Amino acid sequence: MSTPSNSDAKGPDHARGASSGGASRPRVSFQAPKGTRDLYPADAAKRRFIMEAWRSASVRFGFEEIDGPTFEHLGLYTVKSGEGIVSELFSFRRSGGEDDYALRPEFTPTLARMYAAMARQLPRPTKWFMAGPFFRAERPQRGRLREFLQWNADFIGLDVPDDASEDARMEARARADAEVISCCIGFLREMGLDASTIRVKVNHRHALSRWLESRSIPASRHTELFTLLDAKGKMKPEEFAQKLSAFGFTTQQAEIFQKGLIRVTIDNPPGAPTDEVLDLTFFSEAVAPLVRALTAAGVLDWIDFDLSIVRGLAYYTGMVFEVHEAGGKERAIAGGGRYDGLVELFGGPPTPAVGFGMGDVVLSLVLEDRGLMPTGTAMLDRTGIRPDCFVISNGTPEAGAQVARVVASLRSAGLHARHSYKATGNIGKLLKDAAACGARLAIIVESDTRATVKNLDSGAQQTDASLASIVESVRAAIR
């Protein structure tokens, strides 16, 4: 390791090896790439916990699991989002190849591609979910990394015939919208969150569009209004009101947009005569079926209707929503909406669809902050990796000789059995080892035929158990 450096002869470009081997080597970084995570056992358990909960909620709500490639042709993403998206992607070309690829930054294009390819033979509606890694070339900060997990659930097509009336289709869209939102809420509820800590903010693009149309404001300016509403929080109220006046809204009306929230119940729909400042008739008509469907699903108490939620994406065509921690300090936990034109854009038949995505980064922050991320044996239980038993010797040679045999027979029987790798015969230290790994039972081998079975949760112990029937004893004790 004391080889003299020959960097003088190699020049500065070769003097940067992280290795101390002496000979020049390519520069190697021993740090993980920016915005990625190394998952040690406790971290991997958290990931598994979240992934399993996502899967469980999806299955419970009748979604089927799919997945696609983690990289796609670069063009798949520029079709929807334009060339500007490229700087946000990890894109690459294989050495010697001619095609450009990109690590997937989102799932919707893959979903639309997969659906379009099979549309003729898929049931209506089709309900799909997936959860997996995604990649975005953004600068990391709180709640945002370059590699993260995302859960997607999508409801594609409607549960009515193609020739159904527009009213029937509107009701069907609202049912689908509500089912997707309910699935998201069902997961959050399972995590221990509730309507006082989490708010689901919902808006409907038809409401604003029809309001603008009624004022003869051309469609070309609708996007401009969406952008302005999206930027609401980043400007002073006076500036916001002044810009809003360009769309015919008064200062008083701007205050309603400023506050955003419209709390709605089934008995108190928006557009009631009490709303004198801003005529909410269009909003009311747009969301009334959705309010009914959310009520039927039992989740209306989680919902705030919020006129300022627009989502950045141009492709949303109806309901849009975001899920926020009630304190409003974190980034959005989840977001989604209706995108009725997207499947067609990817070569499929005209197909209404609604879905959402939820990342693991903000979710984890919220769960950790509220003490809802399991730790210790609770996490081992939730992820199914808690040891059933920990086999130790009482320190005598004849007992010590039996440990490996006992462990092997327990493992052959399908039990999760561990033992100590320590040299000590100190029973107190070995029990500490057993408790540290979260084992339910400790088996203290006492001789070449007998053992003590100790329940590490209760402290109760059964003495003089037979080694010959140890598997049955363990099964009985952990039942």
Partner RNA sequence: GUGGCCAUAGCUCAGUUGGCAGAGCACCGGGUUGUGAUCCCGGUUGUCGCGGGUUCGAGUCCCGUUGGCCACCCCA
Stretch that binds RNA, among 132-140, 179-187, 282-290, 346-354 (CB under 7 A): 132-140
User: What stretches of 221-333 adopt beta strand conformation (E)?
Assistant: 261-262, 303-306, 319-325
> Looking at beta carbons only, is 81 or 253 nearer to RNA?
81
| Residues near 56 by beta carbon (within 8 Å), at least 6 away in sequence | 190
N- to C-terminal Cα separation, the chain? 56
Binding of RNA at residue 394 (CB under 7 A)? yes
> Looking at beta carbons only, is 172 or 474 nearer to RNA?
474
Q: Pick one of 6, 23, 25, 34: the residue that binds RNA (CB under 7 A).
A: 34
Binding of RNA at residue 328 (CB under 7 A)? no
Binding of RNA at residue 426 (CB under 7 A)? yes
Of residues 59 through 78, those in contact with RNA by CB under 7 A are 77
Please report how close the Cβ of residue 278 comes to RNA at its closest, in angstroms.
Answer: 25
Q: Pick one of 22, 35, 68, 132: the residue that binds RNA (CB under 7 A).
A: 35
What are φ and ψ of residue 13, in 5° steps?
A: -65, -20
Query: Using CA atoms, how far apart are residues 153 and 127, in angstroms rounded to an integer?
Result: 7
Binding of RNA at residue 259 (CB under 7 A)? no
Residue 126 is encoded by which pair of tokens?
A: 């089709």
Count of residues that interact with RNA, criterion CB under 7 A = 67
Binding of RNA at residue 425 (CB under 7 A)? yes
Q: Pick one of 435, 462, 471, 478: the residue that binds RNA (CB under 7 A).
A: 435
Binding of RNA at residue 424 (CB under 7 A)? yes
Please report how close the Cβ of residue 461 comes to RNA at its closest, in angstroms.
Answer: 6
Please report how close the Cβ of residue 5 comes to RNA at its closest, in angstroms.
Answer: 6
Please report how close the Cβ of residue 276 comes to RNA at its closest, in angstroms.
Answer: 33
Binding of RNA at residue 7 (CB under 7 A)? yes
Query: Using CA atoms, how far apart are residues 419 and 443, in angstroms rounded to an integer?
Result: 9
Binding of RNA at residue 444 (CB under 7 A)? yes
Please report how close the Cβ of residue 18 comes to RNA at its closest, in angstroms.
Answer: 5
DSSP H/E element including 201: strand 198-204
Stretch that binds RNA, among 158-166, 216-224, 341-349, 424-432 (CB under 7 A): 424-432
Query: Using CA atoms, how far apart are residues 434 and 436, in angstroms rounded to an integer?
Result: 5
| Residues near 149 by beta carbon (within 8 Å), at least 6 away in sequence | 47, 50, 51, 131, 132, 133, 134, 359, 360
Q: Nearest Cα to 303, choosing from 383, 199, 396?
A: 199
Q: Nearest Cα to 311, choosing from 199, 233, 218, 227?
A: 227
Partners of residue 149 on adjacent β-strands: 133
Binding of RNA at residue 422 (CB under 7 A)? yes
Residue 430, classed as helix, strand or coil, is helix
Evaluated on CA atoms 179, 180, 185, 186, the torsion sign reads positive
Please report how close the Cβ of residue 293 comes to RNA at its closest, in angstroms.
Answer: 23
Stretch that binds RNA, among 173-181, 215-223, 243-251, 450-458 (CB under 7 A): 450-458
Token pair 């399991």 is found at: 374
Contact indicator for 161, 56 with CB cutoff of 8 Å: no
Stretch that binds RNA, among 182-190, 251-259, 286-294, 446-454 (CB under 7 A): 446-454
Stretch that binds RNA, among 92-100, 190-198, 307-315, 404-412 (CB under 7 A): 307-315
Query: Using CA atoms, how far apart are residues 263 and 348, in angstroms rounded to an integer?
Result: 38
Binding of RNA at residue 449 (CB under 7 A)? no
Q: Contact letters (x/-) for RNA, 88-127, by CB under 7 A?
A: xx---------------xx-x-------------------
- The DSSP code sequence of 73-139 is EHHHHHHHH-GGGGGGS-EEE-TT---EEEE-S-SHHHHHHHHHHHGGGS-SSEEEEEEEEEE----
Please report how close the Cβ of residue 427 comes to RNA at its closest, in angstroms.
Answer: 5
Binding of RNA at residue 457 (CB under 7 A)? yes
Q: What is the binding site for RNA (CB under 7 A)?
A: 5, 7, 12, 15-20, 27, 29-36, 77, 81, 85, 88-89, 105-106, 108, 136, 138-142, 144, 230, 234, 311-313, 331, 335, 357, 394, 421-429, 431-432, 434-436, 442, 444, 446, 452, 454-459, 461
